[in-house]
Amino acid sequence: MSEMTFPLPDVGEGLTEAEIVTWHVAPGDPVELNQVICEIETAKSLVELPSPFIGVVTELLAEVGQTVPVGNPILRVRTEGSSPEPVAEEAAPAGDTDETRDAVADAAGSVEHEGNGEGGGAVLVGYGTAGSATSRRRRGGEPLLAGAAGRHSSLPVADANPVIAKPPIRKLAKDLGVDLTAVTGTGIAGEILRDDVVRHASQASLFRNITTPEPQSVREERIPLKGVRKHIAQAMATSSNEAPHVGVFTDVDATRTMEFVKRLKSSSEFAGTKVSPLLIFAKAMLWAIRRNPEINSTFTETEIIRHNFVNLGIAAATPRGLVVPNIKDAQELTLLQLAQAIEQLTITARDGRTQPAEMANGTITITNIGVFGMDFGTPILNPGECAIMAMGTIKEKPWVVDGEVRPRMVTTVGGSFDHRIVDGDVISRFVADVASVLEEPALLLD
């Protein structure tokens, strides 16, 4: 029997410190391999830390709310042997990436190599590779399934009236706070569908205040600058100070886009997938980037790096602040795949579970201020990117068509651009290309 300590790892983003948000274990609790022991808040996201040990917790070495430097011990566990035994085919930890596993392995100092021929590499004992995730159980026997975003969805214990719902629908229900046992399914054999869950959703809108709070009894409050807000402040100041921003925008008749969205929603191919004008806007940007590749670039002091791939960032407002996860190699996705990727990205972000690797290496960003009911704004560039495109709300306005004023669905699109990389002609052509697709989505068939 021996005692092992678990140091705070760098979870793959050059982390120097993190705050302990929640402990999921206490002294005296048994812990299993890969069981989530705590949540930490980094400069970018909440991250669940899984245990690399099997044993019993003897001491928590950091308190909730405490900021801990990377490498400092946070947990002590009593194990049966001198080192934990590997468990084959264990589920990968939440937010697991190659960088995360390697960093955790280095911090814990307990690594073995798996030669499965599917990426292999150094993996902390008991940490399976991302490609071999299988179901596992928490203490108490509650079964879990590895989710698409590196999280887990609870499965109900079998009973006489089982809930029939696919894993994505179960995850949606969890995200919206819906009890599936109270939902009547309208699918075949009583299967619960997306619309059934949405109808029962009680989640308040993220973007609108639904109550007016009472006046505060204190004259002022002091809120520590840390976590996501600190990262946002630093990134926006850096971008605004270093990159000369230029803004270009135009009004667009998006009537055909709205008609196209309506057709996609009613098609069997897109059944169960959220479709919105943002999808067409994203696809329009990918089309316009192909025609104006200079837009998809990064400026350095010695060169301009033009990316021949698109990691498409989607700015997402969350209760913890703005995050910008990106869809890797978005240029390779079909319209359906892009819709699914946007939906998953949005759900994960609003739930506060976006992982650092999902926000790294973006090449261009979308901000959809239309969801706030705003017509337009002037966004600040995500550091390291040449462009951020914004789309305002789409609403009925008078529009001249063939010499006659008619009601049309109109929006404003445009954005901010790094004038060190691109000039006005390139910027204008790019914005015009995006606008042309919103006016006539058939151009996507080009």
C-alpha span between 382 and 322 (Å, rounded): 11
How many CA atoms within 13 Å lie on the side-chain side of 112?
A: 14
Here the tokens at position 413 are: 């699109």
On whether the pTM is more than 0.75, the answer is no
Task: Please compute the mean of the pLDDT values over residues 168-197 and round it to a whole number.
Answer: 77
Residue with tokens 């120097």: 16
Q: What is the pLDDT of residue 219?
A: 87
Task: Tell the residue number behind the tokens 């048994």, with chain if given.
Answer: 30
The count of other CB atoms within 10 Å of the CB of residue 406 is 11
CATH of the structural domain 228-445, one choice from 3.30.420.10, 3.30.559.10, 3.40.50.150, 3.30.1130.10 = 3.30.559.10
Q: What is the pLDDT of residues 250-306, one digit of tens each?
A: 999 999 999 999 999 889 999 888 899 999 999 999 999 999 999 999 999 999 999
Which residue blocks in 267-384 are alpha helix, DSSP H?
Answer: 277-291, 335-350, 356-359
User: Pairing state of beta strands 387-391 and 364-367?
Assistant: parallel
- Exposed, middle or buried, 425 (CB in 10 Å: 0-12/13-18/19+)? exposed
The torsion region of residue 68 among left (phi > 0), alpha (psi -120 to 50) and beta comes to beta
Looking at domain 156-203, its CATH superfamily turns out to be E3-binding domain (4.10.320.10)
Residue 213 is predicted with a pLDDT of: 75
Most confident range (mean pLDDT) of 43-52, 161-170, 298-307, 348-357 is: 298-307
Residue 380 vs residue 169, higher pLDDT: 380
Burial bucket for residue 303 (CB in 10 Å: 0-12, 13-18, 19+): exposed
Give 200's pLDDT tier (boundaries 50, 70, 90). low
Per-residue pLDDT, averaged over 318-327, amounts to 86
* For the chain, counts of helices (H) and of strands (E): 9, 24
**Spatial contact of 22 and 38, defined as CB atoms under 8 Å apart:** yes
Domain range 2-150, CATH architecture: Beta Barrel (2.40)
Mean pLDDT to the nearest integer, 332-351: 91
Alpha helix (H) residue ranges in 277-413: 277-291, 335-350, 356-359
Active site members:
419
Domain coordinates in residue numbering, the chain: 2-150, 156-203, 228-445
**Predicted confidence band of residue 137 (pLDDT cuts 50, 70, 90):** very low
Q: How far apart are CA 177 and CA 194, in angstroms?
A: 14
Tell me, what's the pLDDT at 346? 87
Q: Which are the contacts of 407, defined by CB distance < 8 A and separation ≥ 6?
A: 396, 397, 398, 399
Asked if residue 101 has pLDDT above 70, the reply is: no
